[in-house]
Structure 1
């Protein structure tokens, strides 16, 4: 059957290898105090790299018992050797594990190696189901698998949960045999048990209790409902949804964001397992099924499911007894689980704020009652640094700063392939906490956050709730399901000034693109950079936002108050300064640039140089070009771009050289189609991609620009030959006379680490433009 897909695109082309790397120098290794290895023994002394302990707990407890972190004279370093450190429970640190005297207890990678703190479990023993294209494997709890998980990773890629096509309901229904919930005395409520559909649109599903019903409406409300039962009723099928969640969601304050004729999708139904890359979990039989992609050997590629929820928890016992002076450096965290969706719905939300079980009892009276969790949690923690780590393949979010987290530095990390945001700071329920409990004084800089929300469409990149004094600078955020950056305060109309209050966010010098990547599904009502509520003293400046699939690149929304939006560039989207501001108007803006003519401008005061400058024909002035050039990762962190795996080997992060290419006009290889995306001032140009390893079995796809006279007439691809010390044509110049994508597959088997794309315009002496270029291949 024809379907939309959560994760659409070409076949997998790249998977980063995880595991041991070349050993570091003896001098660097000497900085380690203790050593931990998955192949070690807790009976070892662990003072040399070849006699390590086996567990992090052994290192933690040794430091505690011998009080090595008291009256410290130097940093104490626990070095993790490369390979998988498989977890079966959370690694907990408390105030007893803190550093002292200005020195830290550091959990770090052994020099030159890549340790992985792994909360998952490999799925092995796959067998072909007789006369079917899919495989099956056992995942019993008795063997250490979780009784519920929402992800399967094959070859490092998140597989797509089996999914039906989108259908619209024909009505709500109230099951007479099921008592209605108590009426709400303060407001009228709707009492229904589920949604009914035309009978022909709902197959005869088996294992109904494992099915989830996904709902999408009004551009930003997405829900995932557990299904209680499916029954026939005349010309209809009735899908009964678990309570009290459906009832609570149905009666949320807006009263219109859940209706029966919205679009619904059936998830995790065995009968929908019909396309390569899909999978299905049967909890009743403890079996997982997977439909492999063409040419994919699952046993060789490796398959994992998450098991442990919360991989690391750093928590002091109170605001006056904080865990502190602890660092994590160079570690990979992956395969964390999220168990809450097992028993209740998730959604009705905005970004990572979760709708409450009983919103009418929520103290904020707005329906929200918590957040999507992170896998590395900080509570009542001070002076924590999180640097050079990779957080990936998670069933929820990445790093979460909760109540009482302060003086936290998050720098130079990769967050990718996550269900929710890479960094979640602040608690929704902390709107009235005092200064000692506020999440505050946080620096989030030079991180890459990408690929969030394939199975949770409200996911953002960096998400703030009720925080104070947070600086978000020089980050690269892209391919997020919803907003790239999002901040929302729990009480929309309150101010709460001062250190015990909320605000003073600095969001500056960031590059954000392809936010709201789930727009094809109807997820569009957001901004790539979004602020909701009163955040006094906040500043949004010197950012470059481009290719957001939402209309708004920058969005100052409800009750915005005492903020500035200056020196920002938005390409392909507008500035939205909502008229729903807090009065008197105190939102200010100046020196902003956009190529979008229809901006929403009534909610700001335009001092300085006035309203956003509307640029036409790509004629960005010098000030705008400087903003674009300086936004994103600083030079010493630029290599992080290349460390994120992607299906398109020609991702812009791999670019190393170019000839006459005007990069200020955008990135032609980011997978986002837009007219006039990149070009040069001469009629022939090239750009070079360094792939980081040898690839073969290539396919190249180009789409030419359909704007003005910027038309590519010919293209070719070259490879670097080390043996010949020269660039060799993989394909000679080929003519292109269509605006549709054109694919070229080399006839010969070619392997290379470096490629160059050449484009030429023979019709005009002066300029050439390209819309998209992608390269796929298989790593040797």
Structure 2
């Protein structure tokens, strides 16, 4: 970026010549060297002790003085040596641009002052214009001079400002500012296509084309014109007939032309205007665009006029001009015969403004510092800026200069930052155009120090057999310590208080206390409440938690640890069954009896704490009828664990140098030997992998099957045929297993051969064709980092390197030994029904199908392995189910998608659950490829009345990264509401299918509302959104589907936060809050530079999207190329300093009570300063701010941590996070935190001068 800026905008850069403080008149009278760069904006604030080299003088002496206004650091002291003198400031006015000027003076009589602007003209002479000055006095003796002027016609951008005076007294100047106003003129007026009428052979001879593939001539004209461009293509290659056009990034153009097919072969083919930027100067610019007329997308046998709007909205510094040509058909081998005429491209006036995305905030780590950062927007390259501190009734400049895109400046105040600081900026683009002057006020960056209070009863049920009723309050203190009074009370059926127990606790600020409550059970009690009051004021500190005594017709108890191992056991609270099989046998008998007698039965199986094997449900083992229902509930929430994991024991040290441990797993079965996961103390380990890409990797393309590399060490891998190459390609994440490696002596290249079938699937994948792998994994030779493992399935050995905070003598290591936890299988005619799961933990599965040859994935984790095709399977799969519900469950450590609900899913709730650490997606409702999915005519096939609400879903698709957190196919009357989704590789919500197809859709009354979606698309995966919809719906303008009330924060990659993709229709978007302050620019795979868009409608098949007038965003950046779009801009607050209305939306988003009590949202983010500065010999403690949900500070006093320095020779760090600087240089400090079975790693930069 800096290189492009210096080449393209050298005339905008601040000058650095040898003339500061002196006078050396050039031959033309210019006090500055004409060969140096001349800025188009001036921000001289004299804040440093060094005199700027862009200021000169004649007849006086200049110096920087410490006289200041407010907390400004200095001003320019002028000491005249003669009565008549001038101060010069380097500046080059551009012809026709309007400028605003201002400066401050002190101790000078302004009646003796003149301000002139000098400009070099095209003739070589200099011309001047005097600025008419307006003067305003300030109470501190300073006076402000303001004025405006226009760049003279014929000026070449070289010149200066002259401050002329006849004073002999010493005086001061400060804050000399010149800012250009927004130039909205077109780049070039009229038709931007040079050869457009095609009336003569002479004209069309100027076009470029391949004579082997194309012949061109003058054909009959359209609409009475003299001629047209007649193109005949023989199919040898693309029929491109091209010319240059001045189409600039960011600007909007109206395109029109006439076209006609001359034969039946050509008629009906798509016709587009190709924009080819192969001469781009910035690789972030899109290489091709092929816009077309949505109303007339194909070429017809009669003359038809095509019209459309084209705009390239990529954030890029590209200044290369594209070539344009017509693209008819979709293949290079198409044989064509057609005519085009009257090609006109005109710029839409006032459609482009130069701007940047800014962040301006107080430093949370230093209360005397403010930070300003600039990021690109469209074709901008940076901005002139000035930071202003409050002073009196106004402001004073304390820092100014130029920031390139991606740069940050910090201002250290001599005192604590108080009052409202502001920053003013003027953006410039790669063509040298300047935007309008804008301002942004300081954002309060302090993190919230709210109290976090959870109150829960210790059991999911309350029955008479229990001796006590117990509850636990988990209380994280806020800004100050507090004494709290906690109570548990029992009430009878009439609400009369029977008994109450109280306890008092002191909760420390920002520390977590656990308050235990217990009360003797009472047979008369029917309801209980837990209260929390402030012990001094007796004001409640949270709403009471309520619990009602459990009522079922029958309750069966199963206890795998203390139960009776006999089918004849009574299965009661005091004499439970030992096995689930015995419990389910009794349940089946009771259900059959109820069905046969046609009597109602509401049955419950209580699962006491312990581990249970997975189980399946069919009509045979679980009778279903409308009059019977069964609930499986954990006696203590989360402590009944359905798991297919087995513990690995007896680790021994295998390699002391690398700290590799080994254990024998041969006896754990075939699935374990092929498992892709292991878990250490509940935390997923990492398959041994490389740190980066293959060395000098080249893709062999469609002509070959695999890649080459210069890394010959691969030839020494003992099991190269188990190595996986992992690719990131837009919205897909394919992986391929190496079949063999061979070495070419002549080229010195290693060829890695891959599975031909899977490779060809992806090589024909359009925009997601594999390039080169981002990393490779699953080889013993790659085992070199803490947390990595490798399984040698031949010898049945597991190898592992423990993390710094793990002790292998006490670590619990679990390996999945199955691919399924539970299945419930019915038919559309005979669905499984009336089954509920409450408070159960489900964990530990793997998915071994990719091991053979890989996984050629596509959209949303659909794809193929060597033995399977379709979407990734679920650890829990429900097929044709009615009223099957999951409440308050926890699903984690999953090797595929967590929960899949397939085919006819009706009246099912998935509410109050936590899903995390899944290899694939979280919850998948409806397979869009099912034959009855799209628009079923019979009710038995409906996907209807399902709810996915109040769930906490995080750390999703950590292996197969193309999977969305929540997926819905074609639902009717469905609510995806009040969920919190955090840390996903792809979209958080993905609905629909079918792209631009207008086939009938069953989707109607789909509500995606009030969700809190953050840190979404958190890798280099892209082309998704916080909410992503695909395909036509069955809605109407009178019955819109809803995408409302959502709070979307930190969406990490392209293309839109709220993203209706191809074919999406009939959606209402209103009352949403979009905060992109953490990612104002999206990078794609790393080379892109696209301004984050709050919404993205990229093609005309998207239609009937209605935007309400109450959306809020930190950016108004969008793309709107749809049809019948009722669009309104959001209310924009760049610093996320939200008004009350937006704050209310944020507060109401995410999980509601009482379900919030289910979740310790845990450590989510850790914020470091932009960089630490240390001196050699310094020792400091690492400073960071841990946060949980909605940026509330989080107590990590009991969280395991590990610290690491990339270069201990520069800065070392000990186990307590203390840094010691040893030598000059720059290094990164990395910190790993293990909290709630998830490891999170963050880093900061340390600079030692």
User: Deviation at 1:205?
Assistant: 1.4
2:788 corresponds in structure 1 to 278
Distance of 1:101 and 1:529 partners within structure 2: 36
**1:562 equivalent in alignment to 2:999:** no
**1:639 equivalent in alignment to 2:1157:** yes
User: Deviation at 1:401?
Assistant: 0.5
**Aligned counterpart for 1:146 among listed residues 651, 668, 672:** 672
2:757 corresponds in structure 1 to 244
User: Alignment partner of 1:209: what SS?
Assistant: helix
**1:480 equivalent in alignment to 2:984:** yes
User: Deviation at 1:588?
Assistant: 1.3
2:739 corresponds in structure 1 to 228
**Aligned counterpart for 1:517 among listed residues 1018, 1024, 1031:** 1018
- Change in CA separation of 1:51 and 1:268 when aligned onto 2, cut-off 3 Å: same
Matches within 5 A, 1:7-26: 25-26=462-463
Matches within 5 A, 1:529-544: 529-537=1027-1035, 538-544=1041-1047
**Aligned counterpart for 1:118 among listed residues 643, 648, 665:** 643
* Contact in 2 for aligned 1:401/1:439 (Cα 8 Å): no
1:445-495 Cα shifts (integer Å, max 9, x gaps)? 100000112212213211223433321010000111111111241464133
User: Deviation at 1:612?
Assistant: 2.0
2:915 corresponds in structure 1 to 415
2:852 corresponds in structure 1 to 343
TM-score between the two structures when normalised by the length of structure 1: 0.73
User: Deviation at 1:281?
Assistant: 1.4
TM-score between the two structures when normalised by the length of structure 2: 0.47
**1:526 equivalent in alignment to 2:1050:** no
1:559-617 Cα shifts (integer Å, max 9, x gaps)? 1112221211110052233231426x31111122110242223337565x822222233
2:1128 corresponds in structure 1 to 610
**1:76 equivalent in alignment to 2:603:** yes
For this pair of structures, how many residues does the alignment match? 626
1:155 corresponds in structure 2 to 681
1:580 corresponds in structure 2 to 1099
- Change in CA separation of 1:376 and 1:68 when aligned onto 2, cut-off 3 Å: farther
- Change in CA separation of 1:225 and 1:21 when aligned onto 2, cut-off 3 Å: farther
1:138-169 Cα shifts (integer Å, max 9, x gaps)? 22256575341111100100011110133256
Distance of 2:853 and 2:697 partners within structure 1: 24
* Contact in 1 for aligned 2:707/2:751 (Cα 8 Å): yes
User: Deviation at 1:699?
Assistant: 8.6
Distance of 1:69 and 1:272 partners within structure 2: 60
1:710 corresponds in structure 2 to none
Distance of 2:717 and 2:992 partners within structure 1: 40
- Change in CA separation of 1:550 and 1:671 when aligned onto 2, cut-off 3 Å: farther
Matches within 5 A, 1:202-213: 202=714, 204-213=716-725
User: Alignment partner of 1:403: what SS?
Assistant: strand
* Contact in 2 for aligned 1:69/1:76 (Cα 8 Å): no
Point out where structure 1 has 5 or more consecutive residues left out of the alignment.
Answer: 1-19, 175-189, 359-367, 652-666, 679-686, 702-729, 732-738, 746-771, 775-780
Distance of 1:36 and 1:74 partners within structure 2: 19
Distance of 2:1045 and 2:687 partners within structure 1: 39
Distance of 2:1188 and 2:710 partners within structure 1: 37
User: Deviation at 1:27?
Assistant: 2.6
- Change in CA separation of 1:23 and 1:321 when aligned onto 2, cut-off 3 Å: closer
* Contact in 1 for aligned 2:558/2:577 (Cα 8 Å): yes
Distance of 1:152 and 1:167 partners within structure 2: 24
Distance of 2:1243 and 2:593 partners within structure 1: 55
* Contact in 1 for aligned 2:804/2:1202 (Cα 8 Å): no
Point out where structure 2 has 5 or more consecutive residues left out of the alignment.
Answer: 1-456, 467-549, 1036-1040, 1077-1091, 1169-1183, 1205-1216, 1219-1225, 1233-1241, 1245-1249
Distance of 1:630 and 1:23 partners within structure 2: 27
- Change in CA separation of 1:773 and 1:270 when aligned onto 2, cut-off 3 Å: closer
Deviates more, 1:69-78 or 1:299-308: 69-78
Distance of 1:267 and 1:300 partners within structure 2: 28
Distance of 2:861 and 2:1030 partners within structure 1: 13
1:30-53 Cα shifts (integer Å, max 9, x gaps)? 756111122331434242234322
**1:403 equivalent in alignment to 2:913:** no
* Contact in 1 for aligned 2:889/2:914 (Cα 8 Å): yes
2:577 corresponds in structure 1 to 53
* Contact in 1 for aligned 2:662/2:799 (Cα 8 Å): yes
Deviates more, 1:302-311 or 1:323-332: 302-311
**Aligned counterpart for 1:374 among listed residues 870, 874, 882:** 874
2:1080 corresponds in structure 1 to none
* Contact in 1 for aligned 2:1166/2:1185 (Cα 8 Å): no
**1:36 equivalent in alignment to 2:558:** yes
User: Alignment partner of 1:624: what SS?
Assistant: helix
User: Deviation at 1:700?
Assistant: 11
User: Deviation at 1:371?
Assistant: 1.1
- Change in CA separation of 1:228 and 1:68 when aligned onto 2, cut-off 3 Å: farther
2:960 corresponds in structure 1 to 456
**Aligned counterpart for 1:621 among listed residues 1123, 1128, 1139:** 1139
Higher RCO structure, 1 or 2 (CA under 8 Å, sep 6+): 1
Distance of 1:618 and 1:65 partners within structure 2: 60
User: Deviation at 1:640?
Assistant: 3.2
Distance of 2:572 and 2:559 partners within structure 1: 11
User: Deviation at 1:238?
Assistant: 1.1
* Contact in 2 for aligned 1:109/1:115 (Cα 8 Å): yes
**1:553 equivalent in alignment to 2:1057:** yes
User: Deviation at 1:59?
Assistant: 2.4
